[in-house]
Amino acid sequence: MTKRDFDAVVVGSGPNGLAAAITLQQAGLSVLLLEGKNSVGGGLRTAELTLPGFRHDVCSAIHPLAAESPFFKTLPLQAHGLEYIYPPVATAHPLANGTAAVLEQSMAATVARLGMDASAYQRLISPVANDWPALGPAILGPLRWPKHPLAMAQFGLKGLLPASTFANLHLKTTEARALWGGMAAHAQLPLTHVATSAIGLVLLAMGHRHGWPLPKGGSQAIATALTAYFVSLGGQVQTNFYVKSLAQLPSAHAVLLDVTPRQLLGIAGHAFSALYKWQLERYRYGMGVFKIDWALAEPIPFTAPDCRRAGTVHLGNTLEEITAAEQLTWNGTHPEKPFVLLAQQSLFDTTRAPTGQHTAWAYCHVPHGSTRDMTAAIEQQVERFAPGFRERILARHVLNTAQMEDYNPNYIGGDINGGVLDIGQLFTRPVLRFSPYQTSAKGLYICSSSTPPGGGVHGMCGYHAARRALQDVFGVRLPGLA
């Protein structure tokens, strides 16, 4: 090979960019990681957004997939300062009658609340949780023949169902159906869409394996640990280097970009074939989010006691309400009672707020690119299940979809999943191609959440893209994850 400044350059330091850089560096290459902002992290950042001493997760907050990522689990991140905190209740889902469905690590404790659905829930979820070591690498990767085809087939038969169909086939109680609806709504799709059951199954399984953890000190701690490990291997990081063109980059044998198709076209469109450009231009982005962070004088006074033990709370009441709200949002309107995902990290992590005070984090889905202020609608949903909540607010910080995209250019129109995760873009994101990580330009790869397996803090998009680049450019074939 001709001498280059680096063997590989990775653009973007979100979890996927970091995973790609680490994988390449582990293979003995010289790797440069570039970040446009003054700190690494992408969606993994923590800051004092409201008042001094109140530390808020700017984007992602709760990390079941990071803790169970087949790649991250191979890394010595604890040695680099990462500590996960596991709330006693992973998720609580309050209902209008003052009770709540809960997801606890204990299967017995969870099903004890589900009445006639107890046996069905256990039968449906236990295999996914038990088989995760075998299923994880296949689910969190590109379309290929799985190492464990029977387990994967059993998962696929359930996961490919629309979440609404899954509920109607298997669940009868209000509690079980509501809990299921809140899980499936993480897909940012109408619950009537094919394959929305997959995310619900995975999130419930993660809860039963170990729980839904939060990183001590904030989500930034994950990025900090990943970066420290990368640097310990000899990797180099340069911040405040915003890439708009390939011409800005030092010479390298391989370039991996942790960006979505729109930015990829802007940075490297001139280097692509007409067909590849045509496909990228037709990539679809999905619903956005409107996010609020609160500084609070006291914890949120949820009526249901279990909600006060939960790291995450899903606010949407019944499955039917959630289904209606997500469909309205997908159709381009703003529901009066949006489905709200809320985290209360300071209940379990004292580093997040001054003594005796608290933080809370929440978002709802909104139409793509919407700039409507959803503060009142979100706070009304919280107040609905926690009367007196508003009286505890000391300060708030909000981000609409435009502000989300300005903060992280990968969040096009507020879409935090890097593009629609429906059946049409699940395994063919960003384009239909033998390897979704290869572009049509030699030595140029995409490693963002716009590639399989999609959104979430797991690093698997970056890991798989790096493996592809190692094989194509450097002739290095890494063994797959177990």
CATH code for position 386: 3.90.660
Residue 255 lies in a domain: yes
Phi/psi of residue 336, nearest 5 degrees: -65, -30
Closest CA to 465 of 108, 20, 77, 78: 20
Give the pLDDT of the chain (482 residues) as one tens digit per residue: 567 799 999 999 999 999 999 999 999 999 999 999 999 999 999 999 999 999 999 999 999 999 999 999 999 999 999 999 999 999 999 999 999 999 999 999 999 999 999 999 999 999 999 999 999 999 998 878 788 788 899 999 999 999 999 999 999 999 999 999 999 999 999 999 999 999 999 999 999 999 999 999 999 999 999 999 999 999 999 999 999 999 999 999 999 999 999 999 999 999 999 999 999 999 999 999 999 999 999 999 999 999 999 999 999 999 999 999 999 999 999 999 999 999 999 999 999 999 999 999 999 999 999 999 999 999 999 999 999 999 999 999 999 999 999 999 999 999 999 999 998 898 889 999 989 999 999 999 999 999 999 999 999 999 999 999 999 999 999 988 76
- Same structural domain, 390 and 247: no
Say how far apart CA 427 and CA 138 lie, in whole Å.
Answer: 11
Say how far apart CA 307 and CA 191 lie, in whole Å.
Answer: 24
Residue 388 lies in a domain: yes
Say how far apart CA 215 and CA 20 lie, in whole Å.
Answer: 21
- Same structural domain, 90 and 68: no
**Predicted pLDDT at 482:** 60
CATH code for the domain of 257: 3.50.50.60
Show the domain range for 69: 6-82+215-283+413-474
Beta carbons of 425 and 320 less than 8 angstroms apart: no
- Same structural domain, 383 and 468: no
Residue 355 lies in a domain: yes
Say how far apart CA 435 and CA 437 lie, in whole Å.
Answer: 5
Closest CA to 457 of 399, 405, 408: 408
**Predicted pLDDT at 480:** 80
- Same structural domain, 30 and 119: no
Place of tokens 């379990």: 348
Residue 1 lies in a domain: no
Beta carbons of 381 and 340 less than 8 angstroms apart: yes
- Same structural domain, 278 and 341: no
- Last residue of a domain, which of 392, 407, 422? 407
- Same structural domain, 401 and 321: yes
**Predicted pLDDT at 155:** 92
Q: Give the CB-side neighbour count of residue 33, counting CA atoms within 13 A.
A: 36
- Same structural domain, 205 and 240: no
- Last residue of a domain, which of 354, 374, 407? 407
- Last residue of a domain, which of 388, 407, 426? 407
Identity of the amino acid at 105? Q
Say how far apart CA 325 and CA 185 lie, in whole Å.
Answer: 10
**Predicted pLDDT at 338:** 98
Residue 482 lies in a domain: no
- Same structural domain, 386 and 331: yes
SS3 at position 92: strand
Give pTM, 2 decimals: 0.96
| Chain Cα centroid distance, residue 73 | 17
- Same structural domain, 19 and 147: no
Per DSSP, the residues of 382-428 read HHHHSTT-GGGEEEEEEE-HHHHHHH-TTSGGG-TTSS--STTTSSS
**Predicted pLDDT at 2:** 64
Q: Could you count the other beta carbons within 10 Å of the beta carbon of residue 394?
A: 15
Instruction: Give the number of domains in the chain.
Output: 2
Residue 222 lies in a domain: yes
Identity of the amino acid at 318? T
- Same structural domain, 304 and 182: yes
Beta carbons of 33 and 19 less than 8 angstroms apart: no
